[in-house]
C-alpha cells in the first residue's frame, strides 16, 4: 500500500496541484497585503480619511469608540469595512487568474497552430492520385497499396 501511495504522489498531476496550492496561498497573502497596506489607505484618504478595516455597524444598544472596543466587549457587530477589503481582494485575485488563464490559452493556441497536422491522405505509387491514408487499394487504378 505504501508503494501505491508513493506512485500516486509522484504522479505529475498531484505534484503540480500541490505546487499550485502552495503558490496560491502565498499569492493570496501577497494580494491581501497589497489591498490592505497599499491600495486601501489612498482610497480611504480619497473618500475622506476613512480606514475601511475599522468600519462596522454596532447592533447593540451600547456605544463603542472603536471596532476593537466593541470586539473586546463582545458586542454584536457587522464588520462591513473588512468585507469591502475582502471583496477588493477577490476582485484582484480573480482578475490576475483571468490574465494567467487568458495567457495560457493564447500560448496553447499558438502551439496548436505551430504544430503541423498529421496527413490524412497519401499518394498512390502507381497512378499518383490522392487516396485516404488507411486505403489498401487505390480507388482510381485499383492497385493494391502496401
- The model's pLDDT over 17-27, given as tens digits with 9 standing for 90+, comes to 888 888 888 88
- Domain 2-115 class, CATH top level: mainly alpha
Q: Which residue has the higher pLDDT, 110 or 130?
A: 130
Q: What is the 3-state secondary structure (H, E, C) of 118-135?
A: CCCEEECCCCCCEEECCC
pLDDT (mean) for 80-101:
84
CA distances from 81 to 4, 44, 85 (A): 49, 11, 6
Task: Indicate where the chain has its CATH 1.10.1200.120 domain(s).
Answer: 2-115
- Residue 137 reports pLDDT greater than 70: yes
- Residue 104 DSSP SS3: helix
Amino acid at each position: 500500500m505504501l508503494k501505491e501511495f508513493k506512485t500516486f504522489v509522484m504522479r505529475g498531476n498531484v505534484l503540480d496541484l500541490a505546487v499550485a496550492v502552495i503558490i496560491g496561498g502565498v499569492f493570496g497573502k501577497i494580494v491581501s497585503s497589497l489591498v490592505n497596506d497599499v491600495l486601501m489607505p489612498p482610497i480611504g484618504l480619497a473618500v475622506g480619511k476613512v480606514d475601511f478595516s475599522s468600519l462596522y455597524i454596532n447592533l447593540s444598544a451600547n456605544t463603542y469608540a472603536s471596532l476593537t472596543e466593541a470586539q473586546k466587549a463582545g458586542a454584536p457587530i457587522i464588520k462591513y469595512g473588512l468585507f469591502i477589503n475582502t471583496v477588493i481582494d477577490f476582485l484582484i485575485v480573480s482578475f490576475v487568474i483571468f490574465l494567467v488563464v487568458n495567457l495560457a490559452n493564447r500560448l496553447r493556441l499558438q502551439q496548436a497552430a505551430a504544430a503541423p497536422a498529421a496527413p490524412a491522405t497519401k499518394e498512390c505509387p502507381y497512378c499518383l492520385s490522392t487516396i485516404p491514408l488507411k486505403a489498401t487499394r487505390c480507388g482510381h487504378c485499383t492497385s493494391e497499396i502496401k
